[in-house]
């Protein structure tokens, strides 16, 4: 898998994350993701691969 392909896949659930990186503004740039969700992302993908909205909703505590 190339890095470009990997960037389109959510590192937590493995589904497409709809990341728009490189094509303009990605929705993820305007969302603050809690530290404990970022901790679920493997070290080598942190800050590179977007988490999908489903996972953010699923793991965000009220
Ligand atoms: Zn996900
Ligand atoms: Zn993104």
- Domain extent for 24: 3-59
| Number of domains observed in the structure of the chain | 1
pLDDT at position 1:
84
- Alpha-carbon separation of residue 25 from 9, 16, 49 (angstroms): 17, 17, 15
5-58 per-position pLDDT tens digit? 888 999 999 999 988 766 777 877 788 889 999 999 999 998 888 999 899 999
Question: Which has the closest alpha carbon to 8: 53, 49, 60?
Answer: 49
Rounded distance from Cα 6 to ligand 1 centre (Å): 13
pLDDT at position 29:
77
Q: Give ion ligand 1 contacts, CB < 5 A.
A: 10, 12-13, 52, 55
Which DSSP string corresponds to 23-61? Answer: SS--GGGG-PPPHHHHTTS-GGGTTTSPPPHHHHHHH--
Cα–Cα distance for residue pair 3/18, rounded to 1 Å: 15
């Amino acid at each position: 898998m190339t890095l470009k392909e990997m960037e389109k896949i959510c590192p937590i659930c493995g589904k497409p994350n709809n990341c728009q990186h490189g094509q303009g503004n990605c929705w993820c740039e305007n969302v603050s993701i809690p530290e404990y969700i970022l901790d679920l992302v493997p070290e080598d993908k942190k800050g590179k691969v977007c988490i999908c909205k489903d996972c953010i909703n699923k793991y965000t505590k009220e």
